[in-house]
Each structure stands twice: as C-alpha cells, then as structure tokens.
C-alpha cells in the first residue's frame, strides 16, 4: 500500500473519464494541496491558464477547480469506491466568500425569481481571517461594530467519480456520482462510499471549506485551500446507486436533484436499501424505524442540483 504525493498538472472543471493524472492501487493513500473555489492558492495567485481544463462554451472561473482524475484500475463498474478522509489541514490564514445578486437561497438564481418583498442582496466579497493556532474564523463587521469568532470546521465540498454517461459539464453540479454536494459532514475521519460508474472510478476532489452553514444558503462558504489526505479502497459486495457516508455515529446517504423533495426521496430510498441489504432489516420494519429515529440534513440549496443527506444512528444497527 503506497502513499502518493499528488501534484496536479491540470485542474478540471468537469466530472468525467479524462486522462488519468494519478494511477493507484487498492488501499493506497494520497496527499494533495487544493485551491479554493475561485482557483486561488495561499498567495492569492489564480490557476495558470495552461493548467485549466478547456471547457467548450463554459468559463472555468465559474466552476470549482478539481484535482484528478485518480484512477484505480482494479475498481470495476458496479462496485463501490471507499474514500476515507484521513486529514484536512487548512494551509493559509484567510478564507473568502462572495455573495452575488440573484444567487442564493433567498433571491433565487436568476432575474425575476426573487421572493416577494425580498430585494436582491448586493454582490460583495468578504474575507475572513483564519487563526489556525486557535482554530477559529474571524468576521469583522465594521457596520455593525461587531467581531464574531466561529470554530473552524473544514470539509471537502466537491468530491466524486466519473458519472454513468459521458461527463458532467460543470463541477458545480452534484449527482449520483457525488460531485459538488457541499455537505459539511464530509470531514476528517469520515468514509465516503462512491458508486463506480466507469471502470477505474476516476476520482476528483477539491473545493475545501473552512466553515459553512447547512445548505450553503448564500451561495458560497468560507472558501480556502488545504492539504488533503485520502485513502482509497475497492469495495466488492456493496451495491450503491447514490453516495453513502459512514461517520463514527451514523450511516448516511446523499441524494441530489431538483426539487428538494426529490432529494429527500432519493436519499431515504437508498438509505432504506442499505439497511436491508447491508444490515438484514426487513424492508417494512426498516421504514418504520427510519420514520422514528432517522435524521435529515440539507447540504446545499444553491447548486444546479440540491443535496439532502438522510442519516441513521449506528446505535440502532444490529
């Protein structure tokens, strides 16, 4: 089992079976340095043009720059790729967040779609200093004359495999392959189980957030860079149609679609299937139990697809 220091030569803005950037074996680990959602490194330098994937008809700066693809040749279509997040170490002392007019959960995402009596927010950048020694993000508010310190909670915003057919035209979109789920639960110590839709899996990742509320309500989190360490394993015998997640306390499923109620259905249906196939529950009894002890979290309500995570406490598993 090898440990790879992954230094990207290209940043991708789509999910798909692109030319392999790194080939690994089952059980290997990798460490890589990500850029933020705007392509900035720790010195505020953008991705060089020669390192940007050419996207016909699309602007790279409108999507998250991803590292990858990481190819595990043993992984076959129909299997599952387990990605354990061993570490997320923020490597700079600031994070940025941008609020845009007509983008976000209050004002809609296009002219004419805002809520009644709710004027669009102005387009504005915010920069939060990060005190890495104390583990806090700092928000200085000159108009309100207030200072807020919030604990850092870094996670990977965008991580996924190649989709079932072709490629996804923007890395902003989540789906059955994972993608830009923006789920704050994808943090250190968690294992993400991704369906393998294409032989080799073709894993992409990036878009680390220093902090984010549920739903990424205003469109962007505290976008930052980090050194990420992942361990990848091939899982045989598990069948998954949507990303599955295992934390120290829960098993979870992420469903992504529009409208939001479809996300709820997709996530809970896959979680129900996991309880039956993986843990031997009767389907009717599992559904009854989910209705009484199940949990749900809204991961994002701003991306091209929304994401809902259905969760089940491990203490009720056999």
Q: What pLDDT is recorded for position 62?
A: 64
Q: Does residue 48 or residue 122 have the better pLDDT?
A: 48
**3-state helix, strand and coil shares in percent for the chain, rounded to the nearest 5:** 15, 40, 50
**Statement: the pTM of the whole predicted model exceeds 0.75:** yes
Report angle CA 316, 284, 186 to the nearest 5 degrees.
45
Instruction: Please name each of the domains of the chain with its CATH number.
Output: 3-94+152-235 (2.60.120.580), 100-151 (no CATH), 244-316 (3.10.28.20)
pLDDT at 61 exceeding the cut of 60: no
3-state secondary structure of 26: coil
Q: What pLDDT is recorded for position 310?
A: 98
Query: Using CA atoms, how far apart are residues 107 and 123, in angstroms rounded to an integer?
Result: 12
Q: pLDDT tens digits for 203-215?
A: 999 999 999 999 9
pLDDT band (50, 70, 90) for residue 96: very high
- Could you tell me which of 53, 47, 51, 49 has the C-alpha nearest to residue 14? 53
pLDDT at 78 exceeding the cut of 90: yes
pLDDT at 108 exceeding the cut of 60: no
Query: Using CA atoms, how far apart are residues 103 and 219, in angstroms rounded to an integer?
Result: 6
pLDDT at 94 exceeding the cut of 70: yes
Q: What pLDDT is recorded for position 147?
A: 96
pLDDT at 91 exceeding the cut of 80: yes
Q: Which helix (H) or strand (E) holds 149?
A: strand 146-151
Contacts of 283 (CB under 8 A, 6+ apart): 272, 276
Q: What pLDDT is recorded for position 54?
A: 85
pLDDT band (50, 70, 90) for residue 105: confident
User: For the chain, what percent of residues have pLDDT higher than 70?
Assistant: 93
Q: What pLDDT is recorded for position 103?
A: 73
């Amino acid at each position: 089992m090898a440990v790879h220091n992954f230094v990207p030569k290209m940043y991708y803005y789509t999910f798909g079976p692109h030319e392999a950037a790194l080939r690994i074996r089952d059980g290997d680990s990798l460490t890589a340095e990500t850029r933020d959602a705007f392509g900035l490194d720790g010195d505020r330098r953008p991705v060089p043009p020669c390192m940007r994937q050419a996207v016909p008809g699309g602007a790279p700066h409108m999507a998250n720059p991803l590292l990858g693809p990481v190819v595990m040749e043993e992984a076959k279509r129909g299997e599952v790729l387990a990605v354990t997040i061993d570490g997320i170490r923020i490597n700079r002392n600031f994070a940025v967040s941008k609020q845009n007019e007509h983008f976000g959960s209050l004002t809609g995402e296009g002219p004419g779609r805002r809520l009644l009596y709710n004027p669009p927010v102005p387009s504005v950048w915010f920069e939060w200093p990060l005190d890495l020694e104390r583990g806090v993000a700092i928000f200085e508010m000159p108009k309100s004359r207030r200072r807020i310190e919030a604990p850092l909670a870094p996670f990977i915003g965008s991580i996924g495999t190649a989709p079932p057919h072709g490629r996804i035209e923007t890395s902003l979109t989540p789906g059955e392959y994972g993608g830009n789920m923006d789920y704050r639960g994808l943090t250190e110590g968690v294992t993400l189980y991704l369906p393998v839709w294409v032989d080799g899996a073709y894993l992409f990742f990036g878009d680390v957030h220093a902090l984010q509320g549920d739903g990424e309500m205003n469109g962007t989190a505290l976008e930052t860079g980090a050194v990420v360490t992942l361990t990848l394993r091939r899982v045989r015998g598990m069948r998954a149609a949507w990303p599955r997640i295992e934390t120290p306390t829960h098993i979870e499923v992420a469903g992504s679609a529009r409208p939001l109620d479809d996300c709820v259905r997709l996530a809970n249906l896959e979680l129900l299937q996991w309880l039956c196939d993986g843990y031997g529950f009767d389907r009717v009894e599992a559904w009854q139990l989910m209705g009484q002890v199940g949990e749900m979290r809204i991961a994002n309500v701003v991306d091209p697809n929304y994401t809902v995570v259905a969760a089940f406490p491990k203490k009720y598993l056999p």
